Amino acid sequence: MDTTPPVAGAPASGANVPEFSVSEISGAIRRTLEGAFGRVRVRGEITECKRYPSGHIYLSLKDESAKLESVVWKSAVPRLSVQPENGVEVIATGKLTTYADRSKYQLVIDRLEYAGEGALLARIEKLRVRLAAEGLFEAGRKRVLPGLPRVVGVVTSEAGAVIQDIRTTIARRFPRRILLWPVPVQGQGAAERIAAAIEGFGRLPHDGPIPRPDVLIVARGGGSLEDLMAFNEEIVVRAAASCPIPLISAVGHETDTTLIDFAADRRAPTPTAAAEMAVPARADLLAALDQTGARLRGAAMRQRRAAETTLLRLERRLPDIPARVLEYRRRLDEAGESLPDALRAFVRLKRDALAPLAVPHPRESIAARRHAVALLDGRRVAAFARCVQRLRGARALHAFSAAPVLALLRERRAMLAGASRQLEALSYNAVLARGFALVRDAEGEPLTRAAAVAPGARLSIGFADGQVVATAEGEAPRRAKAKKGTEQGTLL
């Protein structure tokens, strides 16, 4: 390659060296550099990465002994499959150019890719540690998948085997409605589209025209680590972690692990396995239902038998209520019948207690004496008659003497006179003859105290020779206080 610069001016005196202006030499270097290298691929670790408000990204690529300043113009940024960040080893594709103002050269990058799996894995691990520290992967955040979802949402590519596998698996197990949100699963902008799909499903209203899924499957088929990188991007991992719908991740083959797997509620090794997790097998459900039904019937039968046994035991221990009611009836009838008799007995007892204390009326006393006299007289007449009868029947009638009979009569008459005198002595008539009077109330009951007479009361005053009716006048005198212990107690 000819690197001899074109002659721009005459050689200086005494020298065979060409002379350039600053602009000339800068332009010459630029042309030489760009002409010699054209487009290049440079491997190095990103450092000093800065994104400016203008949209351009300035960074440096370094290795053990050198550093190359680089730039990604705003127009190229959206086309990058790898977003530049410090510490990541990349292969940058672009062209070398000079920056004349500062006598610098730089690499203008239009494509970035990770420099081998080691670099990718290091970056993934670094992000995993950071997100784990935030608590995005904690078990407490995981939600339980619904038992039988009505709608299954799927985020994957519209073309390819993945969606077909999911469809056929769900149709075979338990047909459910499937909503597909198609996205690119690799390459430029895939991560942003996947994150937007997850968030979009989460924002669907429960009662909107498009039904909100009960479970989400985020899936793609197998591929290289770089192919799966969209599912390792922070934007996708955060969308999965904050999704309000239970989410199953099924990215790559069983051996592949992406960061979305850590954030998902369940991880499936394949898209088919994800569909099996999302929807139960109808046959299994029916079998489980039959088994549960049989267990329920068995339990009910056992419970019923146990209840019957308990009931029988209790029945035997039940008291004989009808017998108890009859016993109560007997006791009530007995007490009820005895009640009037008991009161009558009470009154009788009181009357019996009163009898010995009763003071007989003089009339009763006289009548009793008169009755006694009459009895005696009757006995006298009967005795005399018997005596005469005996005498009549006697043979020695001529020997009869009246003297004993007359003596007996005299004796009886003397007894009668004595009894009459005794009666007179007991009678109040003798007292009346001495000037006393017997005062009775309107009912004929004797009055013994002035305090018992109310003003205006009708009185009957008995003298020795007859009765006089009178009316009480003036105030009733106050009853004198009885001496302590002299007042008679109540009988009742």
Partner 1 sequence: MVDTPGAEASRPIDGLSFEEALQELEGIVRELEGGQGKLEKAVAQYERGAALRRHCETLLAEAEQKVQAIVDSAAGPTLRDAG
Question: Residue 379, interface with partner 1 (CB under 8 A)?
Answer: no
Residue 459 token pair: 């009185």
b vs e for 311-329, b when ≥16 Cβ sit within 10 Å of the residue's Cβ? eeeeeeeeeeeeeeeeeee
Q: Which amino acid is located at 371 in the chain?
A: H
332 binds partner 1 (CB under 8 A): yes
Q: Which of 350, 371, 410, 421 binds partner 1 (CB under 8 A)?
A: 350
CB 457, min distance to partner 1, A: 28
Q: How far apart are CA 256 and CA 253, in angstroms?
A: 5
Which of 7, 8, 311, 345 contacts partner 1 by CB under 8 A? 345
332 vs 368 by CB, closer to partner 1: 332
Q: Does 331 bind partner 1 (CB under 8 A)?
A: yes
Report d(CA 384, CA 373) in Å as an integer. Answer: 16
Binding mask 77-116 for partner 1 (x = CB under 8 A): ----------------------------------------
Among 307, 347, 368, 406, binds partner 1 (CB under 8 A): 347
Q: Which amino acid is at 63?
A: D
**With CB under 8 A as the contact rule, which of the stretches 135-143, 152-160, 218-226, 326-334 interacts with partner 1?**
326-334
DSSP assignment of 325-376: HHHHHHHHHHHHHHHHHHHHHHHHHHHHHHGGGPPPPHHHHHHHHHHHHHHH
- C-alpha 184/C-alpha 195 separation (Å) is 11
Verify binding: residue 479, partner 1, rule CB under 8 A: no
When asked if residue 329 is in the footprint of partner 1 (CB under 8 A), the reply is yes
CA neighbor of 59 nearest in space, from 73, 48, 74, 72: 48
Q: Which of 220, 114, 226 is nearest to 157 (CA)?
A: 220
Q: Are the beta carbons of 220 and 252 closer than 8 angstroms?
A: yes
Instruction: Let me know the angle formed at the C-alpha of 10 by 8 and 14, rounded to the nearest 5 degrees.
Output: 135
Q: Does 311 bind partner 1 (CB under 8 A)?
A: no
Using rule CB under 8 A, residue 150 touches partner 1: no
354 in contact with partner 1 (CB under 8 A): no
- The stretches of 355-428 forming alpha helices (DSSP H) are 362-393, 403-426
In this chain, which of 53, 322, 456, 489 binds partner 1, going by CB under 8 A? 322
- The reply on whether position 371 binds partner 1 by CB under 8 A is no
Does residue 359 interact with partner 1 by CB under 8 A?
no
Residue 136, token pair as written in the block? 């995005």
Pick the binder of partner 1 from 1, 129, 139, 321 (CB under 8 A).
Answer: 321
**Of the listed pieces 62-70, 159-167, 250-258, 320-328, which binds partner 1 according to CB under 8 A?**
320-328
Residue 285 Cβ vs partner 1, minimum distance, rounded to whole Å = 25
Q: Provide the mask over 212-231, with x wherever binding to partner 1 is found by CB under 8 A and - wherever it is not.
A: --------------------
Look at phi and psi of residue 15 and say left if phi exceeds 0, alpha if psi is from -120 to 50, else beta.
Answer: beta
Cα–Cα distance for residue pair 66/61, rounded to 1 Å: 8
We find the least distance from the C-beta atom of residue 319 to partner 1, in angstroms, to be 12
Q: How far is the CB of 342 from partner 1 (least distance, A)?
A: 4
Using the rule CB under 8 A, give the single segment among 262-270, 305-313, 337-345, 380-388 that binds partner 1: 337-345
CA distance 279 to 170: 7
Looking at beta carbons only, is 65 or 490 nearer to partner 1? 490
Is 397 among the residues that bind partner 1 (CB under 8 A)?
no
Q: How far apart are the first and last CA of the chain?
A: 158
Shorter beta-carbon distance to partner 1: residue 321 or 425: 321
Starting from the edge strand earliest in sequence, which strands make up the sheet with 266-267, in order?
177-182, 151-156, 215-220, 247-251, 266-267
Interface with partner 1, residue 208, by CB under 8 A:
no
Q: Closest approach of Cβ 246 to partner 1, in Å?
A: 40
Q: Which residues bind partner 1 (CB under 8 A)?
A: 321-322, 325, 328-329, 331-332, 335-336, 338-340, 342-343, 345-347, 349-350, 492
